[in-house]
Each structure stands twice: as structure tokens, then as C-alpha cells.
Chain A
Amino acid sequence: MVYEAGKYEVVVIGAGHAGCEAALASARMGCSTLLVTMSVEYIALMPCNPSIGGPAKAQLVREIDALGGEMGINIDKSSIQMRLINTGKGPAVQALRAQADKHEYGREMIKTILGQEKLQLLMAEVEKIESEDGEVKAIVTRTGARYECQTVVVTSGTYLKGRIIAGEVMYDGGPGNQFPAVKLSDNLQEMGIKLGRFKTGTPPRIDRKTVDFSKMVEHPGDSVPWRFSFISAPPTQAQLPCWLTHSTPETHRIVMDNIARAPLFTGVIKGKGPRYCPSFEDKVVRFAHKTSHQLFIEPEGRDTDEMYVQGLNTSLPEDVQIQVLHSIPGLEHVHMMRTGYAIEYDYVIPTQAQLTLESKVISGLFTAGQINGTSGYEEAAAQGLMAGINAALRVQHREPFILKRSEAFIGVMIDDLVTKEADEPYRLLTSRAEYRLLLRQDNADLRLTEKGKQLGLVDDYRWKLFQTKLKLLEEATQALKTTTFTPADTEVEKFLIGKASALLRDRISLWEMLRRPELTIQDFVEQGWLKTSGHEILEQLEIQAKYEGYINKQKEQVQRFERMENKRIPADIDYHGVYSLSNEALQKLKEIRPQSIGHASRISGVTPADINILLIFLEKRRN
């Protein structure tokens, strides 16, 4: 019996990382939003590695934060350890990484959601999305509640027809032993949306009390109080360490002896898994020459004894998992609290989405997160934010919000998703960004805060902080550029000799001096030549000065890139009418419907000759 339960402008299905961002963004932009979840207890769950950040992902979190999203703020409230990765490799690849207190993370997110105006939380399973004339109309839950809505954002993660596999044991289920979402999957297909099947996995969890830490190497967090969010206060609690151990030849022997029982090799698992997150058994088989693989033991929280065995992602039978654990130094007597497993799930092939993450098949329907075939909480959150924003913009009849590849990692990711064919879950890498030097974690706020303000997601507090920062930056930059020294300055001479740096031959500004690798901006502050204005400002200036050459190189590349991106392709173009396109190009262009020549050129199968033809055709049309 279906009954009318209410009306909302935006409905978000699934309260994982993507769903939370989508719902919060939509509500904050003023749309009435319903967030539907099958389990209120598992909001913003981290079913796999309880960590946020790392290379490429930290950049995403910072960008989400700069736009007014929640992930950065949330992890700052609930981290147990923070480390800066890739120090010394340059600012473009430096990345912050936090170990999260898994439960705390979820609790803080629930608090935020419950406290958000215009946002309503509902526990239910959505079975059907109603549409009429190719447009979204309502959603219907398993218990018959029908909610009318203008847009739907589906962020169901890996729940669509989820199937758990551990050795010979298989059953339908979502992550963390939840119910899977079965009907919704069928519903999407009925609407004409094509689905694929992927798999991912998770390692066992062990009881802290049974671990022998003396056999492992301690990995503490950094002593510097890092923050993800540009507006968070410094942390107050002490950090917890992680522990490093490794597998042994014995471990590998156990795996190989039981390989016949491994689902990956028995062919039971049909979904394709990600290469960058292979199962342990996969690693042992593929890199047989390696006698040991490193494993990190990570605490899952401050008030739990569960620990996560990073690197031991597996779907081997439970009894084998226990043997494997016992062969690892420090884990000889460990008690396994949760079994590791592989999970197969349906996902929506993302080339069916536009750059706004709105479906090309059903208008008003958005998909974000792992349902789009990505992996990672950060990737999900970023998509959720963008989908939530665009859903709200659609309701408000405003221009959609799209970030370019030259503006943000978020832009790189979404452009990749809707353009490329994927045969494995998509994970963001810094190498996917052409303009990595410009898209750093340290300048996310400079790039995106203003856009967040225009959308209505940046509150006064953040905006004020940002304006202050801009002013300080401007002042300090001016100071650096206008403070000059001549070879006659003996103080400077002494300083340079002390730093084994070349003496001056002409008048030089502090800015130019900063380019020298052996000098730092801290030196200038200590010498009294520059007023100190906070670590962030100093770091930003130093990066801008030292990398000016390479940064300018990339900026030139961006100019050329943007000229191609600005050559728009009309939405109503009929590719069949484009004389002499290659067959493959025709297929792909029809399917993906790129918005610009630049975008078209990135589609595999579209050659430079095809682009030429397209350009000529567009010119013809203009006349």
C-alpha cells in the first residue's frame, strides 16, 4: 500500500560519504532535502581502511573543504593520527593523511546532519524511483512511503545487489553485514540505465589485546598539528600510533596451499577488482618473487579494541585467514574479530552521466560515489558534493557547476569518469592531473573558496578567515617583491656566506632571492626582513616563489587547454550528419555527448582527424 509521505526538492538515497556531502550541500543551499538511509547507525561508515587522505585524496579533501563541504572538518574532529606524506617530493604531491576514529567520524557526521536546517533524515530502503517522460518524479520506499521530489541523488555505494564472499561462503549483503539494496538496482535498469559489476574487498579485523606489539615497528603521527580543513582549530587529543609488520614465506605458503579455495581463482567472483587494491592472495601470486609484503596494523578508534590489518585485503576462507594471521610476526596469538571478505556490487556505468553528474537517461537523477564505479571515501565525498550542488542548482533554475581539469582534482576525476571506459573501480592518482603543480593541497582555498561563496556554501566565518588570509598574502607578497638588496649590503653578504649561497651581483628582491634552493622564507623571517604572518602564509609564498618557473610553464599549458575547452559543441548536434567521421568516433561521440572540442579530444577512439572534421562541421553550422 503506497501512501503519500511528503514532498522534498532533493532526495538523497544513501548516507555514506557521498550522500552526506550531497545532502548537506543541498540543504545549505536552501533546498528542502531528504536523506534516506537503510541504517542510521552507519552514517558515513568507513567499511574499509579507516583513514582519510593520502596522495591525490588529500587534495580532494582540501577542495571539498574549500567549497564548503564537510569531510575536512569532520576528519579534523575525529582523527587519531595525522601524517604528511611525500615530504621532500615537492608541494604538488605532498599529501596529508589521517587515521580516523571510525565511530567518532560517523558520530560527528550524524550530529552535523541532525543539526542541519532543511535537512531531514529518514531510515528506510528505497525500492523505486518514479519517473515520467524521462524526468524524476518521486521515490517509493519498501514500506510504501512515497515522497514527491524534483531531483534524486543516488549515493548507494556498494549496496546495489551486494554479495559477500569469504572463501566458500557467499551471501547477499551490503558492507559491514548490512542488507543489500536489491530492488533499486532492478529499478535503475528498468529506467534504461546500464549497470556493471565490480568487486572490492576488506581485510580481517583483530583484537588489540591479543597483539604482540614488541614484534612490530611503531609509526607515530607527525608532531606538527596538521589540519585538513582551512578553518579547523588545532587538535586537542594525543595521537595513537600505527604498527608495521610483514608477511613471511610461511604466510605465502599457507596462501598457496589453499589457493584452490580462493574465490578469485575458483572463478566465483565475476566483478572486476581494482589493481591498486589487490587482495593479499593476488599479491602473493602475482609477485611470487617477493618473500614478504608489508602490513600496517591500524587502530580503528580510541574506544574500541578493533584493529585494521592494512594490506591483508582478502576473500580466502575464514579458517585460512586465521592461519595467515598467525603466521605474521606480532599476530601469532591474535583473535580475529571480523572476517575479511570480498564484496561484489552493481554500479552505474558513469559515461551515462554528464559533467554535472546528472544522468543523460533520466533528467533530475544524479549519481555520486561508489555507485559510479569509483573507490575511496574521498572520491565519493567529492562527487557527492558536486551532485548535491548541481541538484540544488537545478531546482533553483541556476547554471550548473562544473570544475575543469585545470581548476581542481574534482574536475579531473569527474571528467575522467564521464569520458573514459573503466574496467576497474576508478581511483584518483596525482598522475591523472595534467596540471598537478597548480592543483596543490596548499592552494585549494585560493582556487575554490570564492566559487563556494557564489554557490552559497561558504559561511561568513570561513569567508572572513579567507579574506584575511588573502590580505596577508597580498601584503607579504608585496613586501617580498619590493624589499631589495644590493651587493653593498654587508648584512646580506654575511647571511649569504653563512648559507653558502652566491653573493649578489646586482640589485635583487627578496622574492628573487627566495628562488634559491638553499634559502628559505623562514630564514628571511629570522633575519627580520619579513614580518611573520603565520605558517600557512609563509608556506604559500615560498611555494609560489620557488616554483614560479614550473608553475608558469603549467599555466601556459592551461591556456592552450582552455582554448579547446571553450570551443563548445551544441547539445543538439546530430553526429550522423557529420560527414566522414570514423565509425568508432561516431559511436563514442553519440554515447558520451561531450560539451566541448577539448572534451571530445579526450575520448578514446576520437582521432585528431575526427576533431578536424568536427571543427569544420561546427563552422559550417555557424554559417
Chain B
Amino acid sequence: MFEDDIAALSTPPGEGGIGIIRLSGHEVIEKVGEIFVPVTGKALSQRHGYTLNLGWIIDQDGSKIDQVLLGIMKAPHSYTGEDVVEINCHGGSMPVRRCLQRCLEAGLRMAEPGEFTKRAFLNGRMELSQAEAVIDIIRAKTDRGLKLAMQQLEGNLGYIEAIEENLLQLNAMVEASLDFPEEVGELDYDEVQTILRQSIVALDQIVAAGVRNEIYRDGVKVVICGKPNVGKSSLLNALLKKEKAIVTDLPGTTRDVVEDYINVHDIPVKIMDTAGIRLTEDLVEKIGVEKSIKVIEQADMLVFMLDSGDGITQADLDIYKMIDRDKLIVFVNKEDLEIKRISTVELDSLFAGVKLIQGSAKNDLGLEELEMAMEEMVLSGTLPGDGLDIMINLRQKDALLRSREQVESALQSLRQVTADCLGVDIWGALETLGEVSGKTLKEEVINRIFHNFCIGK
């Protein structure tokens, strides 16, 4: 636990220009080398300390996530005294989060609060007085964090306990057949398979519930888009119920991306208005348009607006082409106008299968319907958590996923490897799960053996 490679976000989360992820540990350079592709030159492991290296953080399938600058500081000449890597991402919470996720996938774990500083002190890079301050922080965070964790766990514990129980029984079964073969007999592989499968279902459920609740904790990004003057800023303001964006009648007024959070049925939704996209010579407007396009690409959900009075124009179709149809709501605005130029037939043919709302931003029409549609769409991508009211943090999620991996590994190799190898994964799954609740479970397995099985000569 104390010898792990750790990672953490070093800059405040949000929409800053640069996001820095800091890594520290014995094997960080090697591990980052697996997820980083340099633009030119030698592999990461051959670079010198105190260098900045340009390259790409890549996904599991090799696709590029973000272009980054990688700072390498070799032990002992670094903040913590261990090898340190600082990944300078492009900012915006999306790429930074993805990069951090990749680091975890490469085998690092999230750092505890103050852990970098603690290591700096342990490795003699920092003074005593600074470290004493750290101890206070750790302790305070622990007491409070403990209370918070306990509060969370009050809710969580039941669900983790059920899986723990299953895996305990499984471990007892396997170990009993290995240590007391004559009394207990052969392992029932069918039963083992059943329990493993049940565990995966249960683990997936918890993670799904957690992910779903992450949405309640982290929020979603909804982007309003459409051609200039279709009423995007009006819609944003209507949803915000206050003036935020600048609304004029001239097309191209909103130069920039305006954003704010609203509470949509307990989901924090970040609604972003965009400059009306059109071909323009105006440089400032052009920059605004480019930014908007980027924002659309990164949205969790899109609200595509049409002007009822204008009908469906080529400009609308051009924009629609750019949109990912998956998470899309079409809002036909200005239904308050006398003359409507969009027919139901047109709508049906163009937007078959897409959620359609007709309303008027100016007159507060269709807004409630829009909010409900947003909620439904945001949550629809997630598995139902069966009403599990769980909040899991990244560290817990990490442990749950690792445990699941080990259960999966056991399942895959079930009838192909010998029982002792199987035991490695089966015990591993339980031990990792124990990290979530903070228990050491080895003695408990031994207790179960004697409780469940009649052993003894």
C-alpha cells in the first residue's frame, strides 16, 4: 500500500487552460510508457530527468486521447524523491479525467490527500515543520473523511457485505478442499462457477449504481446548438431563469461559450450556449464558432434547436450533420409565432427516433418537458442501480473494478488451471474487495472453513 505508484490531479478541477496530473513512485516511468506515445525520438524510459516530452496519451485501442507535455523528474531529484512524472494536459475536465483514468488503468492508484507531501518528507525532501502540518491534515482528513466515509459506508456496506459474504464462502470452499481434501472432498466446480457469476453481476450493479450517482455528483454537460439566432441564448436564459447570455436580435451575438449549472431534478447540469455556427469571415466570430464545435464534440448531451418560423434550412442541416445522434433532443423553438414553417412530416422524416419537443423559450413553453427529457436521457445510458443509493469514490470504484477483474480471471480459467492457481485469483478478488471496506479477511476465511466443514481427525 505504501509502495504503490500514485497519481493525482495537481491543478484545480474545472475548465482551466492546463490540467496537470502528477505521478510518483518506483515504476511510474515504465507505466506511463505504456500509455504515452512520443511524437519523436526515444522511448520514455531512455529520456533524461528534467525533460519535457511532447506526445500523446493513448487509449487502450491506441487511439489518441490528448496531446500532452510529459515532464520527467528522476529520483532522487524530484518533489517526492521518487521518480516523478507530470502530465500537462490540455485542460478541460474531459481530457484530464481520461488521462487520469488511463494512469489508473496502467497500474497506478489515486493518491491519498497529502500523500505526495508525505513521501517528500519521508524521502528527506522536506522539513519537519512542513511534515507536521501534513500529519495534521492527514489526521483531520481522516477523522472527517472517516466520518464521511462511514456515512457513505452506512449506505454502502450492506451491498459490499453481500458480495464479501459470497466470496468468503467461495474461498472457504476452495481452501477447505485444498487443506482438508479427505474430509471435504473434491471442489464442486459448478458451484464455484455460479458464485463467481453472481459476484460479477453484483459487482457490476454496485459500480453501475456508483457511476449513475457520479452523475449526481459530477453533473453532465449539455450543449445547446443550432444556427445563429435560433434562440439558443433565450433557451439558456429561460432554463437559468436569469439573464446570463447576451441576447440581441443580431445573428452572431454570442461570441463565446457561456455556461452555468442548473439543477435538473437533482442532477447538476452544465448547460452551455454556443455561438451560432455559420460560415463567417469575422475573425472573432470564427474563433467563437471553432470553440463551439469543440464543445459540441465533448458534450454529454445536445439540444439541437430549430426555428419554427424559419423552417428547416440548409444551415440547420449543416449543423445537424456534425451532431452525434446518440444523445440528442430536438427543440423546435418559437412555437409562439403565428406562422410555423416546419411540418410534422418533415420532423418525422428527419428526426425519426429522436426526442422532439416543441416550445417557446421566450414564453416558457416546453421547458418542463425539456428538463424531463434531459433527465431521462442522462440516466438512460446507465444501468439501473435497482434503487441502490450508493456514492462510491474513485478509489472504491478502482478496487471494485480490480476485484471484478480477478473474479473474471478466475471464471475464465476455471476449468483450465489447477485449483491452486484458481485460488490465487479467488483470494485476490476477496482481498481487493476488502480494501473497499478496510477489512483484512484472511482470518475470516479460515474461520469459515471450520464453521462450515466438518474437519478433523
Contact = CB atoms under 8 A, between A and B. Distances in A.
Given A56-B179, A580-B135, A619-B121, A286 B454 contact: yes
Interface in A57-93: 85-86, 88-93
B122 A430 contact: no
B179 A55 contact: yes
B9 interface: no
A311 B182 CA distance: 11
Contacts of B442: 431-432
A577 interface: no
A431 B179 CA distance: 8
A540 interface: no
B3 A294 contact: no
B22 interface: no
A429 B419 contact: no
Interface stretch (B241-249, B257-265, B366-374, B420-428): B420-428
B456 interface: yes
Contacts of B446: 429, 431-432
B118 A550 contact: no
Given A276-B450, A437-B421, A547-B421, A313 B135 contact: no
Contacts of B177: 89
B424 A616 contact: no
Given A276-B456, A283-B454, A437 B424 contact: yes
Interface residues on A, range: 35 or more
Nearest to A517: B416
Nearest to B171: A431
A611 interface: yes
A580 B143 CA distance: 13
A553 B445 CA distance: 22
A296 B182 CA distance: 10
B457 interface: yes
Interface string A413-437: 0000000000000000111100011
B178 A86 contact: yes
A495 B183 CA distance: 41
A349 interface: no
A85 B419 CA distance: 13
A623 interface: yes
Given A276-B450, A550-B424, A86 B456 contact: no
A564 B142 CA distance: 23
Contact of B131 (A91, A286, A553, A616): A616
B76 interface: no
Interface in B84-133: 118, 121-122, 124, 128, 131
Nearest to A615: B122
Nearest to A427: B179
Contact of B457 (A55, A277, A432): A277
A611 B179 contact: no
B122 A310 contact: no
B420 A619 contact: no
A256 interface: no
A102 to B, nearest CB: 16
B354 interface: no
Given A85-B181, A564-B2, A436 B423 contact: yes
A234 interface: no
Nearest to A286: B454
Interface string B421-457: 1011001000000000000101001100110001111
A553 B424 contact: yes
Contacts of B424: 437, 550, 553-554
Given A89-B420, A276-B450, A547-B421, A616 B181 contact: no
A430 B178 contact: yes
Contacts of B440: 604
B124 A619 contact: yes
A278 B118 CA distance: 50
Contact of A580 (B118, B121, B139): B139
A290 B427 CA distance: 29
A123 B419 CA distance: 48
B43 to A, nearest CB: 22
B138 interface: yes
Interface in B376-434: 416-421, 423-424, 427
B457 A90 contact: no
A310 B457 contact: yes
Contacts of B3: 560, 563-564
A334 interface: no
Given A283-B456, A431-B175, A609 B122 contact: no
A406 B140 CA distance: 36
B180 interface: yes
Given A49-B457, A429-B179, A431-B445, A91 B420 contact: yes
A283 B457 CA distance: 10
A171 interface: no
- Interface of B, secondary structure class, is helix
A532 interface: no
B1 interface: yes
A620 interface: yes
B63 to A, nearest CB: 27
A612 interface: yes
A224 B369 CA distance: 80
A553 B128 CA distance: 38
Contact of B454 (A293, A608, A620): A293
A569 interface: no
A311 B455 CA distance: 9
A436 B426 CA distance: 14
Given A86-B181, A619-B121, A619-B122, A287 B454 contact: yes
Contacts of A547: 421
A275 interface: yes
Given A313-B456, A431-B445, A616 B421 contact: no
Contacts of B180: 55, 276
A372 to B, nearest CB: 19
A613 interface: yes
B128 A550 contact: no
Nearest to B178: A93
B124 A623 contact: yes
B456 A90 contact: no
Contacts of A623: 124, 128
Interface in A471-521: 517
A608 B1 contact: yes
Interface string A537-571: 00000000001001001100000100110000000
A311 B118 CA distance: 56
A90 B3 CA distance: 31
Contact of B456 (A85, A311, A580, A604): A311
Nearest to B122: A619
Interface string B29-40: 000000000000
A89 B178 contact: yes
Contacts of A93: 178-179, 419-420, 423
Nearest to A293: B454
Contacts of B455: 275-276, 278
Interface string B237-278: 000000000000000000000000000000000000000000
Contacts of A432: 442, 446
Contacts of A286: 454
A294 B183 contact: yes
Contact of B2 (A276, A287, A310, A611): A611
A49 B183 CA distance: 15
Contacts of A563: 3
Given A90-B419, A277-B456, A608-B1, 15 more contacts: A86-B178, A89-B420, A93-B178, A290-B454, A313-B457, A429-B449, A430-B179, A431-B442, A431-B446, A431-B449, A597-B2, A609-B138, A615-B2, A616-B121, A619-B122
15 contacts: A89-B181, A90-B420, A275-B455, A290-B454, A311-B457, A313-B456, A429-B179, A430-B179, A431-B179, A431-B449, A437-B421, A580-B139, A609-B139, A616-B122, A616-B135
- Top 9 closest A-B pairs, CB basis? A90-B418, A90-B420, A92-B420, A275-B450, A89-B419, A431-B175, A278-B456, A287-B454, A429-B179
